Amino acid sequence: MNLDEKMARVMNFTIIDDLHVINEYGEYVCDGTPWRPSTIMAWAMLVEDRIGELGLEMAYVHALIKICVTEFEMLDLLGVVKAWRLIHATPEQRCLAAEKAMEGGK
């Protein structure tokens, strides 16, 4: 299962194909944009919203830090570099953090 398929599971979505994804109520959720939260920021942000709904914010942020911040950057006492890395996390990094948060949230 690829990362986008895993994120569909987080969302309780069913993937028919790239352009046809339905939610748990049987409604189509794609608007002509392929379901690729690992590369499309709008979908990654939707996954982040779901992580918040599930109460997994702490696990998600910890996972995102481990994914985005190097060991050297962890020495940044004021947290400026860490904050920068989190703000500029790629869609893939956000999805990987969501995956880790879900694993810890089970």
Give the C-alpha separation, 48 to 38, whole Å: 12
Query: What is the pTM (predicted TM-score) of this model?
Result: 0.79
Which pLDDT score is estimated for 32? 81
Band of the pLDDT at 75, cuts 50, 70, 90? Answer: confident
Q: Where exactly are the structural domains of the chain? A: 3-105
Positive or negative: CA dihedral 56, 61, 64, 66: negative
Distance separating alpha carbons of residues 66 and 105, to the nearest angstrom: 17
Mean pLDDT of the chain: 90
CA distance linking residue 75 with residue 77, whole number of Å: 6
Higher per-residue confidence, 22 vs 75: 22
The pLDDT value given to residue 10: 95
Q: What whole-number distance in Å separates Cα of residue 106 and Cα of residue 95?
A: 17
If we measure between CA atoms, which residue out of 80, 35, 37, 88 comes closest to residue 64? 88
Residue 105, pLDDT > 60, answer no
> Could you read off the pLDDT of 4-48 as tens digits, one per residue?
999 999 999 999 988 899 999 999 998 788 999 999 999 999 999
Report d(CA 57, CA 60) in Å as an integer: 5
